[in-house]
A and B are shown apart, each in its own frame.
Chain A
């Protein structure tokens, strides 16, 4: 009865929209374009147009406060012959792959840990999400203080407990600095990965899990053979989108290491900033940021394909 009624109203409303089509704004086409136009115009001016400018600047020798001269591919030629640029490429790769791997594994482990009923689950979830909720800039300041070369509380406590003799060089040694950056990125990202994975795990039908219990599979085997294959679509999307954010990250490295020591944590975002703002070579900076484009475009296309496949 209810469904019949609703099909009836649909027919009637279809009829009525047909009649009222004379009213311009009631037609979906014009109304659609009208409603989309503020967003479209704004993004055309503040996103698409700047993007075009960026490509133009990368082909000029633009410096801060000077007029640009067209120099074609010279900026890219300069970059590709600079070891600092290749170091940036390697660092960005290490930073991205390292962080993503830890966030993926940590996210799965934490999701599985939370995928059971226990007292205090809501409180635990609330606390778990804090690193991701509290603005990165401010929590990174706390980390910076925690890892400070001379006053790190971690070193203070480890020495107090007699576990180390000398300070650990969290931000002063090249390898340690990259490690610290990856750990910080993981600390901030794991809550997001875990909660997203958990939501996906909870959509896995109970029957499948029960069936595998009857088959005698243990929890480890059950996770990898039953649950994981079913959450792969979510995992893929989360990883793709997070990779885009990590490869182009600016905030964490800027606040924690500024690319140092000796360029050990120099990534695309910092090099772009350094060339354009500190050195004043805006054209070269634009060129650095555009060298990310092939990787970014690939990731965006993969995300699009994956999303379309899923819906």
Chain B
């Protein structure tokens, strides 16, 4: 009896715990290294003799550097502004479109559904040159708000695609009952189906927020001027493209910039997993 229990424990250690531990270490190490470096003094960052994998004299000087020496706070506000604005705008547009494609019968509904999927797959690499041209024509190239116009072009296809799928899973009967009770078609959609779609909308919102927060290419090309930058561009341009790499502040900046998404993830992990397995996400 005792021998078999020992064997069982050994077996569990072999699968899944041993490979799982190695895997999770590999997944976590870059983040550990990022946070650890952000807490090190300059001397300790380049000290490979004492204890490279730990911090002996933790300091917050890398964090204060961000706010005193470069416009990190400004970039943070820029990122929040653009991310919130584009997420809300894209969601409103996508809820309307997603509902119509999923629920309403009109000529071309299927075709439009297919078009949404195609636009979702069009990569930004293909579009940044001509979109810069369009932004230039409307006199917005260089402004921070150019991004407010540019980001929905990939957020709307994504959110519409995800929400169309979600609306299809909601039963239609309650809506029909409401119409019997005198609601208009649009009123029934807004008052009955929309509240039932909240989990789907939340998933779309979280992904839209993350996509926008993470965006690099458009922010790099469409925006000029130090005080107009978003976090990714600001960090790369100010800290990583000089002869001397400021690893401490760079890692501190990366840590602070990751926090909003980490918080979202902490509270809404199930929404992340749900959206991911809805097959609506590029890997």
Contacts and interface: CB of A to CB of B under 8 A. Distances in A.
Given A133-B265, A141-B250, A47 B153 contact: yes
A116 B198 CA distance: 31
A53 B97 contact: no
A31 B34 contact: no
B27 A127 contact: yes
Contact of B130 (A53, A126, A187): A53
A277 interface: yes
Nearest to A293: B126
B273 interface: yes
Interface stretch (B2-10, B60-68, B172-180): B172-180
A220 interface: no
Nearest to B160: A39
Interface in B266-283: 269, 272-273, 276-277, 279, 281-283
Contacts of A29: 104-107
Q: Which of A17, A35, A124 has the most CB of B within 10 A?
A: A35
Interface stretch (A4-12, A79-87, A171-179): A4-12
Interface string A9-39: 1101100110010010111110111011011
A244 B157 CA distance: 15
A47 B93 contact: no
B184 A25 contact: yes
Interface in A110-157: 110, 113-114, 116, 118, 124-139, 141-146, 148, 151, 153, 156-157
B169 interface: no
- The binding surface of chain A is classed by DSSP as helix
Interface stretch (A70-78, A224-232, A296-304): A296-304
Q: Interface size class for chain A?
A: 35 or more
B214 A46 contact: no
B134 A50 contact: yes
Contact of B125 (A12, A114, A269): A269
Contacts of A282: 129
Contacts of A57: 129-130, 133
A250 B217 contact: yes
A191 B217 contact: no
Contact of A6 (B31, B104, B117, B173): B173
Contact of B184 (A26, A199, A244): A26
Nearest to B151: A46
A195 to B, nearest CB: 6
- The binding surface of chain B is classed by DSSP as helix
Contact of A28 (B46, B185, B257, B261): B185
Contact of B236 (A118, A255, A277): A255
B126 A289 contact: yes
A210 interface: no
A241 B121 contact: yes
Contacts of A95: none
Contacts of B277: 195-196, 199
B19 A113 contact: yes
Interface residues of B, number: 98
B70 interface: no
Interface in A256-311: 268-269, 272-273, 276-277, 282, 285-286, 289-290, 292-293, 296, 299-300, 303-304, 307
Given A124-B24, A135-B261, 17 more contacts: A9-B180, A16-B179, A28-B185, A35-B100, A39-B96, A113-B19, A114-B16, A133-B210, A135-B214, A137-B214, A138-B232, A142-B30, A145-B34, A156-B48, A196-B283, A273-B217, A276-B129
14 contacts: A28-B185, A40-B112, A124-B24, A130-B28, A135-B261, A138-B235, A138-B255, A138-B257, A139-B258, A145-B37, A195-B273, A241-B283, A272-B129, A290-B126
Kindly list the 8 A-B residue pairs having the minimum CB-CB distance in the complex, ordered from nearest. Answer: A248-B123, A32-B106, A50-B130, A135-B214, A53-B130, A32-B104, A39-B97, A35-B100
Interface of A: 6, 9-10, 12-13, 16-17, 20, 23, 25-29, 31-33, 35-36, 38-40, 42-43, 45-47, 49-54, 57, 103, 110, 113-114, 116, 118, 124-139, 141-146, 148, 151, 153, 156-157, 160, 187, 189, 191-193, 195-196, 199, 234, 237-238, 241-242, 244-245, 248-251, 254-255, 268-269, 272-273, 276-277, 282, 285-286, 289-290, 292-293, 296, 299-300, 303-304, 307
Interface of B: 12, 15-17, 19-20, 23-24, 26-31, 33-34, 37, 46, 48, 52-53, 92-94, 96-97, 99-101, 104-107, 109, 112, 114, 116-119, 121-131, 133-134, 149-150, 152-153, 156-157, 160, 173, 176-177, 179-180, 184-186, 210, 213-214, 216-217, 221, 232, 235-236, 240, 245, 247, 250-251, 254-255, 257-258, 261-262, 265, 269, 272-273, 276-277, 279, 281-283
